[in-house]
Structure 1
Amino acid sequence: MQPNNASGSGYKQAGKPTVGINAHLLAGEAGYRRAGIHQYIAQVLRHLPREEDEPAYTVYTKYESDFLQQPGITAVSTRVPTESRLFRIVWEQLIWPWQNWRNQIDLLHSMAFVLPLMATKPAIVTIYDLSFLHFPDNFPAAQRFYLTSQTRRSAKKAKRIITISQSAKQDVHQFFNIPLHKIDVVYPGVDSMYCCLPEDEVAAFKEKRGINGRFILHLGTLQPRKNIPLLLEAFAQLADPTLKLILVGGKGWMFDAIFERVRSLDLVDRVIFTGYAPDDDLPLWYNAADLFVLPSQYEGFGMPIVDAMACGTPVIAANNSSLPEAIGQAGMLFAPNSVADLAERMANVLYNAEISDKMRQLGMEHARTFSWEQAGRETAVIYQKVLQGNK
C-alpha cells in the first residue's frame, strides 16, 4: 500500500482549511522507534474526526497504513530517507516549508518537538517530554544540543503546544517560560487490543516462548532513563529462584550498563531479554505477566502503565514526573531510586493475592478512562482554535 500522492504534492480541498502534519517519526520497521511516540502519532491520526466541518489533513510521512487512505487525509511521502535523524532534520527544515507552500497549508503541526525555521503559517508543536533537559548526560551531545535549542525555539514560535501530561505541561512552562494558557494536554488512549485474553491463548503464548512459572515484566527501550539497573537490583532481593524478570524492548543507547549489571548481580539465568516485540505480541506479554514494573527516572506519560492495566496486570511505577498521573489510584508507586522500597512493593503484590486481585480490578477500571477517540477529538479542537484565531 502506497501513501496517497506519494510523489510529494498534496491538494487543497475547496472551501476547507488544510492542516499539514509532520508524522515522519512514524516507523514502518521493527525497532525502538516503534515505541511510545510512534504509537501516539499513529493513534491520534487514526482518530482525527472527519466530519464535514473539520479541516482537511495533509500528513507528511513515509509510513504506510490503512488509516492514511481514509477520506479527508492526503498522505505525502518523500524520497528523503527520513529514517535517519540527520536526513529527517534536513527534510523538516528545508523540504517541509516548500511542501507546505506548494500544498497551500493553512496550519502546521509538528508531532515531534521541532518546527521549521522558515514556517510562515501558524503552527502547533507536540512536546512529549523534556528528558534531554532533566537528564542531559543520558543523550549524545549532538542530539542533546539539537533537541534543546530547537525545541525551545519551536515552543516559543508555536501558536499552541500540545503535551501528553500535566507534568510535561509544567516542564514546558518552567524550562521555556511558556504561558500555561498556550499549552494543551492531550492524554494518550488505550487501544482495544489491550484487554484480558483467554487463558488458553496466554498459556499457548507462554509455551511458545518457553516461559515456565511466574515473571515480572518491563516493557521499554533499553536506555538510561528507563532506570533498569535499579529494577535489576530490586529483583535480585526477591528470594524466589524460580521467578523471572523479562525485559521486552529494543536497544536504544547507552545500554551496556544494563547487561553488565545482570552479570554482576548473578542474574543471567533469571533475566530474559526478548529484544523488540511486535505490536501484536504486547497484549500477550501483559496478560502473561504477574506484575508490570516501570521504574523510569522520567516519562512524558508512561503509556505501558495503562496498557498493562487494561490487560488486567498489576502495575508498580516510580513516583516521579507524569507516572502518578498515568497510574492514578489503581497501582502502586515506589520512592524513586529506592531499591528497598521497590523490592518490598514487588513482594507485596506477588505474594499477596488479595492485593494483586484488587489492583487488577482497579487497573482495568482506570484504563477505561483513557480514549484515543477523545485524544483525536481534543487535537481537532486545538486545530480549530488556532485556525479560527488566524482567519
Structure 2
Amino acid sequence: MHIAIDYNAAVRQGGGIGRFVREITQVAAQAAPQHRFSLWYAARGLDPKSAQMQALHELQRRLPNIKPRPIPINERLLTILWQRLRMPLPVETIVGAVDVVHGTDFVLPPTKAKTLLSIHDFAYIIHPETAPPELRRYLGGVVPRNVRRADHIHVNSRATKADMERLLGTAPSKSTIVYSGSGSDFYPRPAAEIAEMRQRLGLPERYLLNVGTVQPRKNVERLIEAFGQLPAELRSQPLVIGGKRGWLAEPIYAAVQRHGLEQAVIFLDFVSDSDLPKLYSGATAMVYPSLYEGFGVPIVEAQACGTPVITSTISSLPEIAGNAALLVDPHDTAALTAALQKILTEPDVCQSLAEAGPRQAAKFTWEGTGLGVLGLYELLG
C-alpha cells in the first residue's frame, strides 16, 4: 500500500502537531515495511540545517520505505492554492498513484484516493477570543469542508470527538480516537542532570512549573494571579513559565508587574527538547490550568517524569490526567491558589501524585499512537 502524509508541520514545528506527525510516521513506517510512505511538504523557506530537516534526513536514512516529496513553493502559497482557491491539482501529481492520503493538520489536498483527516482541537470555535482573527476565519472555512470530504477522521481524545459531533454534526461512526503520547525521553531524571540544568538556566533548587506557549488560552495570567495570592512564605519557590511568547501575550507579562511578582516569576522563552524532561523532573509540580486542549501533551510528559500535576476540569484534560492529578476549575482563581497551597504544604499529596503519574502516562505512548493511525490506514486501504 502507498500512503501519502502531509509532512508540513513536521518540518516546521518542534513540538505540537509537528511532533505528532514525525512520531506517527516513524512508528508506522517501521512497523509496516511492506507499505510505502511519501511525505509531501512545501520546501521553500525551510532551513536545511534545522533540527526538523535533520530528523527527516535521518528517518529517510533508517527507513527505506520513506520518501520525502518536497514541493518547490512556500507553505502559504500551497495553502492558498489548495484551500483558498481550491485548485484541482491533485496530490498525485507530486507523489504518484496513492492508496491513502493523510491530512495531518486539519486539511486535505485534492486527491482521488481514500482520505484520513486528523483533527486536533476546536479551540478556534470554543475559545475564539484566544485565536487571531485571520486564523479563525481560515479554520472556520476550511475545517468543516475538509471534515465533510474526509473518508475517515482521526481525533485525539473523547473530548475532541464530542466537540466535532456537537459543532459540525459529524456522525459518530466517521471518527476514531487515537490518543497522542509522549516520548521515551520523558522519565524521572537523576539529581545530577537536574542540578546541571538548574545551574545552566539559573533556576533554584525547587520551583513550580508551567509549560506551553504564553497565550490567553493557556490561562497563564490567572495562574500568575493565583500564585500571587499564596502566603508570602510559600512563594519562596518561584513560578517558572517555559514557553515561547504567543499571541496576545502582553497582558500576561504585565500581570507579573501588576501583582509585584518580578522576583517570583521566571520566564524561560525557550526550552530545548533535551532540557524539558529535566525541567519537569526538577519541579515541585507542573501547573497546567488551560482553558481548552484537544489532548494536553504536557500533562503526560510531566506525569511520565514523576512530577505532580495540577490541571483543569474541562475539555480533554480530566480524560488525559485521570486520577493522577489535582483538578481545578480554571476560571476559579481561589481554587487554583488552594491547589497550589495543597501541593506546597502536603507532602503526602505530592508523593501520591508522583507515584500515580507514571502509571497514567504509560497509557499514552507515541508507539501506540503510530500503530493506531497505521490501523486506520490499513482500514481505508
Q: Is the 8 A contact 1:194 1:283 kept in 2?
A: yes
Q: Is the 8 A contact 1:309 1:360 kept in 2?
A: yes
CA distance in 1: counterparts of 2:91 and 2:19, whole angstroms: 25
**Residue 7 of structure 1 corresponds to which residue in structure 2?**
none
1:208 partner letter: R
**Residues 385, 368 of structure 1: alpha-carbon distance in 2 compared, 3 angstrom cutoff:** same
**Residue 48 of structure 2 corresponds to which residue in structure 1?**
none
**Residue 90 of structure 1 corresponds to which residue in structure 2?**
80
User: Is the deviation greater in 55-64 or in 363-372?
Assistant: 55-64
Deviation of the 1:34 alpha carbon: 2.5
CA distance in 1: counterparts of 2:27 and 2:82, whole angstroms: 24
CA distance in 2: counterparts of 1:51 and 1:331, whole angstroms: 33
**Residue 47 of structure 2 corresponds to which residue in structure 1?**
none
1:224 partner letter: P
1:44 partner letter: I
**Residue 223 of structure 2 corresponds to which residue in structure 1?**
231
Q: Deviations over 1:41-69 (max 9, x none)?
A: 11111211445675311011354222243
Alignment of 1:308 with 2:302, yes or no, is: yes
Q: Deviations over 1:185-220 (max 9, x none)?
A: 111122111011111111121122221242110110
- Number of matched pairs: 363
Alignment of 1:39 with 2:19, yes or no, is: yes
Describe how 1:240-279 pairs up with structure 2 within 5 A: 240-279=234-273
**Residue 60 of structure 1 corresponds to which residue in structure 2?**
40
**Residues 295, 51 of structure 1: alpha-carbon distance in 2 compared, 3 angstrom cutoff:** closer
Structure 2: where are the runs of 5+ without partners?
44-51
Q: Is the 8 A contact 2:29 2:65 kept in 1?
A: no
CA distance in 2: counterparts of 1:352 and 1:96, whole angstroms: 61
Alignment of 1:22 with 2:6, yes or no, is: yes
CA distance in 1: counterparts of 2:32 and 2:287, whole angstroms: 44
2:215 partner letter: Q
Q: 1:376 aligns with which of 370, 373, 377?
A: 370
Q: Deviations over 1:335-387 (max 9, x none)?
A: 23111111111111121111101110000111112121111111111011111
Deviation of the 1:229 alpha carbon: 0.8
**Residue 328 of structure 1 corresponds to which residue in structure 2?**
322
1:228 partner letter: V
2:18 partner letter: H
Q: Is the 8 A contact 2:119 2:154 kept in 1?
A: yes
What SS class does the counterpart of residue 47 from structure 1 fall into? helix
What SS class does the counterpart of residue 77 from structure 1 fall into? strand
**Residue 115 of structure 1 corresponds to which residue in structure 2?**
108
Alignment of 1:175 with 2:167, yes or no, is: yes
**Residue 212 of structure 2 corresponds to which residue in structure 1?**
220
Deviation of the 1:96 alpha carbon: 9.5
**Residue 65 of structure 2 corresponds to which residue in structure 1?**
72
Q: Deviations over 1:16-56 (max 9, x none)?
A: x211111101245xxxx423212211111121144567531
Structure 1: where are the runs of 5+ without partners?
1-16
Alignment of 1:190 with 2:182, yes or no, is: yes
CA distance in 1: counterparts of 2:272 and 2:31, whole angstroms: 33
Question: TM-score with structure 2 length normalisation?
Answer: 0.91
Q: Is the 8 A contact 1:213 1:242 kept in 2?
A: no
What SS class does the counterpart of residue 279 from structure 1 fall into? coil
CA distance in 2: counterparts of 1:277 and 1:45, whole angstroms: 24
CA distance in 1: counterparts of 2:88 and 2:121, whole angstroms: 23
**Residue 203 of structure 2 corresponds to which residue in structure 1?**
211
**Residue 291 of structure 2 corresponds to which residue in structure 1?**
297
Q: Is the 8 A contact 1:319 1:335 kept in 2?
A: yes
Q: Deviations over 1:204-239 (max 9, x none)?
A: 211222212421101101111111111011100112
**Residues 230, 128 of structure 1: alpha-carbon distance in 2 compared, 3 angstrom cutoff:** same
CA distance in 2: counterparts of 1:327 and 1:346, whole angstroms: 17
Deviation of the 1:121 alpha carbon: 2.2
1:196 partner letter: P
Alignment of 1:130 with 2:114, yes or no, is: no
CA distance in 2: counterparts of 1:286 and 1:49, whole angstroms: 30
CA distance in 1: counterparts of 2:236 and 2:157, whole angstroms: 38
Q: Is the 8 A contact 1:21 1:110 kept in 2?
A: yes
Question: TM-score with structure 1 length normalisation?
Answer: 0.88
Q: Is the 8 A contact 2:212 2:243 kept in 1?
A: yes
CA distance in 1: counterparts of 2:196 and 2:87, whole angstroms: 49
Q: 1:367 aligns with which of 361, 364, 381?
A: 361
Give the % identical residues. Answer: 28
2:80 partner letter: V
What SS class does the counterpart of residue 178 from structure 1 fall into? coil
User: Is the deviation greater in 133-142 or in 150-159?
Assistant: 133-142
1:347 partner letter: Q
Deviation of the 1:302 alpha carbon: 0.3
CA distance in 2: counterparts of 1:96 and 1:282, whole angstroms: 43
Deviation of the 1:101 alpha carbon: 3.3
Alignment of 1:157 with 2:157, yes or no, is: no
2:71 partner letter: T
Alignment of 1:140 with 2:132, yes or no, is: yes
Deviation of the 1:123 alpha carbon: 1.1
Deviation of the 1:95 alpha carbon: 8.4
CA distance in 1: counterparts of 2:331 and 2:137, whole angstroms: 27
